[in-house]
Amino acid sequence: MLKVEGIHQYYGGSHILRNVGFEARAGEVTVILGRNGVGKTTLLKSLMGVVPVKAGTISLDGQTITRDTPYERVRKGMGYVPQGREIFGRLTVEENLRMGLAYKSARTPIPPQLFELFPVLRQMLHRRGGDLSGGQQQQLAIARALAAGPKLLILDEPTEGIQPSIIKDIGRVIRQLADTGMEGHPPMAIVLVEQYYDFAAELADHYLVMERGEVVMQGRGTSMEADGVRRRLSI
């Protein structure tokens, strides 16, 4: 679903991403791990076109999207949940969800499955996003990204600052989306940046470890412990 080849990115004179390449397949969760400051969030912003890459190519479902704008990438099937959630605090839950449908007809209904995945959102539909708890805001941010039915969902540290019970719910939803997709859509490709090792290891079909802007390890999720990923991240 997603193919990344030879990505380089700079901030000023700093070389942030160095020849990064990987693939994310439909029906799988691809987990990107690494300590703070290694370039994980920059990589996701590059995938979404929030920051333009200096070199390399990005392809989605066989189409090159390297120079596409973020909204063009969304129309082609990418969904993005940024670090810190970035919901619209003054808008209601319903209005936030409709923002995920912004490029579609105004008559397009909010997919009912979003309320099956996150039942609390139905109860909070007319409450302002800024009045929700951190965990509820994270669920809203994920639901907003899912509203348009993406082929690829990109999540940047969805467990950050979230209580354990909601972390379990988010993990269940991510696994379900990779396995079966949204109703009427095929299984989804998931790219997940995560600091919480146990959460990542439980979900990962494929993993990558980044250090200093480079991918230094990768493999199947089932081999993370044997490959010494936990130990590498703790050094």
Q: What confidence category does residue 107 fall into, taking pLDDT thresholds of 50, 70 and 90? A: confident
Residue 25 one-letter amino acid: R
Q: What confidence category does residue 215 fall into, taking pLDDT thresholds of 50, 70 and 90? A: very high
- Predicted local distance difference test score (pLDDT) of residue 23: 97
Q: What CA–CA distance (Å, rounded) separates 132 from 48?
A: 27
Q: What confidence category does residue 105 fall into, taking pLDDT thresholds of 50, 70 and 90? A: confident
> What percentage of residues in the chain have a pLDDT greater than 70?
100
- Predicted local distance difference test score (pLDDT) of residue 1: 93
Going by the DSSP 8-state scheme, the letter that residue 25 receives in this structure is -
Q: What CA–CA distance (Å, rounded) separates 146 from 163?
A: 22
Q: How many domains does the chain have?
A: 1
Q: What confidence category does residue 104 fall into, taking pLDDT thresholds of 50, 70 and 90? A: confident
- Predicted local distance difference test score (pLDDT) of residue 93: 97
- Tell me which residue range forms the domain holding 170: 2-234
Query: For the whole prediction, is pTM greater than 0.85?
Result: yes
Mean pLDDT of the chain: 94
- Predicted local distance difference test score (pLDDT) of residue 141: 96
Centroid of chain to Cα 126: 26
- Predicted local distance difference test score (pLDDT) of residue 183: 87
Using the predicted structure, report yes or no on whether residue 146 has a pLDDT greater than 90.
yes
Q: What share of the chain is helix, strand, coil (3-state, %, to 5)?
A: 35, 25, 40
- Predicted local distance difference test score (pLDDT) of residue 72: 95
- Range 206-215 average pLDDT: 95
Tell me, what CATH number does 151's domain have? 3.40.50.300
Using the predicted structure, report yes or no on whether residue 235 has a pLDDT greater than 80.
no
pLDDT in tens, 37-59: 899 999 999 999 999 899 999 99
- Predicted local distance difference test score (pLDDT) of residue 13: 82
73: number of Cβ within 10 Å: 22
Q: What CA–CA distance (Å, rounded) separates 61 from 188?
A: 12
- Predicted local distance difference test score (pLDDT) of residue 106: 82
- Predicted local distance difference test score (pLDDT) of residue 84: 85
- Quick one: CA torsion of 224, 228, 231, 232, rounded to 10 degrees? -90
- Predicted local distance difference test score (pLDDT) of residue 195: 87
184: number of Cβ within 10 Å: 8
pLDDT in tens, 55-92: 999 999 999 999 999 999 999 999 999 988 899 999 99
pLDDT in tens, 161-195: 899 989 999 999 999 999 999 988 899 999 999 98
157 touches 163 (CB < 8 A): no
